[in-house]
Amino acid sequence: MDKKELITELKTIVTPYAQDPEALDNIGEDTDFIKDLKINSANLVDVVLDVEEKFGIEIDNDSMAKMLSVKAAIEIIEDKLAGVDRK
């Protein structure tokens, strides 16, 4: 799955929780889940749980703490899919 496809998948996942429609329309690598999409911390947990389900991976606490933007999410998903545990 390339970056563009990953962003499309992420967009589908964050859509129910995003509070800023314009930022959602313009979603890209630099989009910040909290600052741009205005997702609250409780719904950010749901985003992470949905990512786990969609990609069949398990996100640990450290990765959860880092997963604040599309870019970070893509890195984490790619790492987990590749079976690499980047510290």
Partner 1 sequence: MTTQEILDKLPYSKPFLFVDELLQINENGSVGTFTYDKDLDFYKGHFKDSPVTPGVIMTETMAQIGLVCMGIYLYGDSNAEMKAHVMLTSVAVDFMKPVFPGEKVTVTAEKVYFRFKKLNCNVVMKNEAGETVCKGNISGMVTAKLHE
Binding site for partner 1 (CB under 8 A): 40-43, 45-46, 48-49, 61, 64
Q: Least separation, in Å, of the C-beta of 52 and partner 1?
A: 9
Q: Least separation, in Å, of the C-beta of 8 and partner 1?
A: 25
Q: Which is nearer to partner 1, 20 or 46 (CB)?
A: 46
Q: Which is nearer to partner 1, 30 or 62 (CB)?
A: 62
DSSP 16-79: TT-S-HHHHHT--TT-BTTTTT---HHHHHHHHHHHHHHHT----HHHHHH--BHHHHHHHHHH
Q: Least separation, in Å, of the C-beta of 42 and partner 1?
A: 4
Q: Which is nearer to partner 1, 3 or 66 (CB)?
A: 66
3-class SS of residue 86: coil
Which DSSP category does 7 fall into?
Answer: H
